[in-house]
Amino acid sequence: MKVYDASNIRNVAVVGHSGSGKTQLVSAMLFGAKMVNRLGRVDEGTTVTDFDEEEIARKHTLSASVAFAEWRSTKINLIDTPGIGNFLSDTRAALRVADAALVVVDAVAGVEVQTEKVWGIAEEIGLPCVVVLNLLDRERASFDRALESVQGALGREVVPIQLPIGAEREFRGTVDLVAMQGVAFSGDGGGDPSIGEVPDELSGSADTAREALIEMVAEADEALMERFFEEGTLSQEELEGGLRTATRNRQVFPLVCTSAQANIGIGPLLDTIVACLPPAADHPLAATDPESGEPLSYDAADGAPPAAFVWKTIADPFAGRITMFRVAAGALKADSTIHNLTQEGGERFGALAVMQGKTQHPVPELKAGDLGAVAKLKETHTNDTLGEKGSPVRFAPIAFAEPVLSYAIEPKSRGDEEKISGALQRLREEDPTIQYTRDPQTRQLLLSGQGQVHIEVTVAKLKRRFGVGVNVKLPRIPYRETIMAATEAHGRHKKQSGGHGQFGDCKIRVEPLPRGEDFAFVDEIFGGSIPRQFIPAVEKGIQEARVKGYLAGYPMVDFKVTLHDGQFHSVDSNEMSFKMAGRLAFRDAMERARPTLLEPVMNVEIYAPSDFAGDLMGDLNGRRGRIGGMEPRGASTVIKAQVPMAEMLTYEQQLTSATGGRGSYHMEFSHYEEVPAHLHAKIVADSKSEEGDAEDA
């Protein structure tokens, strides 16, 4: 396997909405570059980059994977990324180590929700982009309609450098607007294309499109603009050089035409990647000072001290942990030692490899700019920086999304209880957006992720990789209880059973606190009515009672207890007696303090095509939501609202159904507020029913 320099490497993330043909496109590029012997197909489960059983079954990419193609003395590292919103964090990670992006757009559907999201991420990072108009051989595919959608959503800077020859099933090639020649492909897309004149029926539209391309390239450079005004056009050399510079500077985004399924337009796409997108040498990873957080410059040349950034980890039950990284500086060599600057520990490299999907190709070394992998590092995880000990270089961690949805899980067999935690920890190394916690209130083990599909995939991996079967059910809502009125209460515990008895007596005042204040205990005992050593026991009794609640078994919060009087017995009083008295005082107070239920309310952001905004807001109102505002983003709209958690447990299914899978959402906890009166009795009844079922079990 040849070792490439950074000037001859292109790191390209293939991104776009689910179903736009990203994985098929990667497969076609590998076939076109003769890296594989046959064209893998998504519908057959034979592509290089969708190798996980769950991906093959669902026919969707669920995790970023890397493959490489060698084309015109250049190594192109292709990162195939998920297009489903639940897995967008993996796409963000891939874009962090890429130098450019291929933004794949369905020629039938045009720009969709996830297309805009990944475009925004690429813009945030500052990555050059090539737009790939794919699926042009499909029924109802339209170049003109799709181009209008792309330029409307992504900007007029997206400019075609190709036109399609033929439409729908008759799509058979492209017009190269830079070279002004026709490129026709054989019926099966295989073999070398036939290059000739621009078809007569397209000559007029090709001339118009070329003029628009020249104008856009000229706009990006003052010298070219002057030349354009003087001559009315640009020379071939000026056009090619100007297009390359404008693309790399994000002033122009070339649009190309393909059908990955029919293997049409793949060679010209590979040519565009090599000619227009920046080499890894021109796009070093951004480093930060670990103390100040300010940008840090460093030597990224091949001969510099080695540095690498870990962007992904794979939890393989057979090969162990596979660490995927980008070499940022210097060169990494097999069978060498390197320091983990994040974890402050040494790591020993065994064999280095480049990934072709799941297949590891051993290499003796990897130079700056390249993507590689190594197995069985002990302490290295995603987001770690590797380098020489004492190096000041650190790479900012990838910001992974917080979970939006939780489900309760329980083992199908008792023997799996101990396995769950270890298996989930391994999966979390691979996917940092997974979280699992034991709810201290409900005692349920909660598996949290980016949505229902994400949870389902994680559960499937638990079973397939680690042999752990779990049942999944909706979690209990973590309601709280509180009081609405102040009152005074009395608790006396007295028990005589021969010998020393038990005696504790306390008087308290309870009053509501502002929302979020939890609990406060104030000691106002004067004159020794309760000895100092017994006062903590009163508080402990009240604490134990409030955790178990009064109405429905949920913790009582946002109230203050003031202990102001009591009695004791010199012989019979002890800590246990006063703890019991505290419990009794709490129960007595609750009878008059007007206890009520609180429910968690979530901040929710829904991202969907604007056509669905009205229906979605109506649905949110039906879920007791309060609309906080709307924000247009291209052809989509972001709706902000506050909605009770109880109304959001099944929202993903509704959103998917209502928008045809084109909507996504994010939610996070906001605050607690009082449950409406008409729901109060049902929640209490359901809670008591659950308690009864638990006792019967």
| Per-residue model confidence as pLDDT tens digits over 588-637 | 999 999 999 999 999 998 988 888 999 999 999 999 999 999 988 666 78
| Model-wide pTM > 0.75 | yes
pLDDT of residue 193: 86
pLDDT of residue 691: 64
Taking the mean position of all CA atoms in its chain, how far away is CA 50?
19
Q: Where would I find the beta strands (DSSP E) of 524-663?
A: 559-567, 595-609, 626-633, 636-644
**Residue 694 in this model has a pLDDT that exceeds 60:** no
| Per-residue model confidence as pLDDT tens digits over 307-331 | 999 999 998 777 788 999 999 999 9
| Other Cβ atoms within 10 Å of 139 Cβ, number | 8
Token pair belonging to 504: 């504790």
For each of the domains in the chain, give its residue range(s) and CATH number, in order of start.
Answer: 6-282 (3.40.50.300), 287-395 (2.40.30.10), 405-473 (3.30.70.870), 481-593 (3.30.230.10), 598-679 (3.30.70.240)
Token pair belonging to 587: 């129960």
Q: Residue for token digits 């039950």?
A: 317
Q: What is the mean pLDDT of residues 287-300?
A: 84
Q: Which DSSP symbol is given to 349?
A: -
| Per-residue model confidence as pLDDT tens digits over 638-693 | 899 999 999 998 898 899 889 887 787 877 788 999 999 999 999 998 887 776 55
pLDDT of residue 85: 83
Q: What is the mean pLDDT of residues 424-441?
A: 88
pLDDT of residue 118: 94
Q: Which DSSP symbol is given to 451?
A: S
Please tell me the distance from the alpha carbon of residue 499 to that of residue 413, in angstroms, as a whole number: 50
Q: Could you tell me whether strands 100-106 and 129-134 are parallel, antiparallel, or unpaired per DSSP bridges?
A: parallel
Quickly state the pLDDT bin for 697 (edges 50, 70, 90): very low
Please tell me the distance from the alpha carbon of residue 328 to that of residue 385, in angstroms, as a whole number: 10
pLDDT of residue 333: 94
Q: Where would I find the beta strands (DSSP E) of 484-615?
A: 487-495, 502-512, 519-523, 559-567, 595-609
pLDDT of residue 303: 85
Q: Residue for token digits 């079967």?
A: 469
**Residue 696 in this model has a pLDDT that exceeds 70:** no
Do the Cβ atoms of 583 and 541 come closer than 8 Å?
Answer: yes
Mean pLDDT score of the chain, rounded to an integer? 92
pLDDT of residue 189: 54
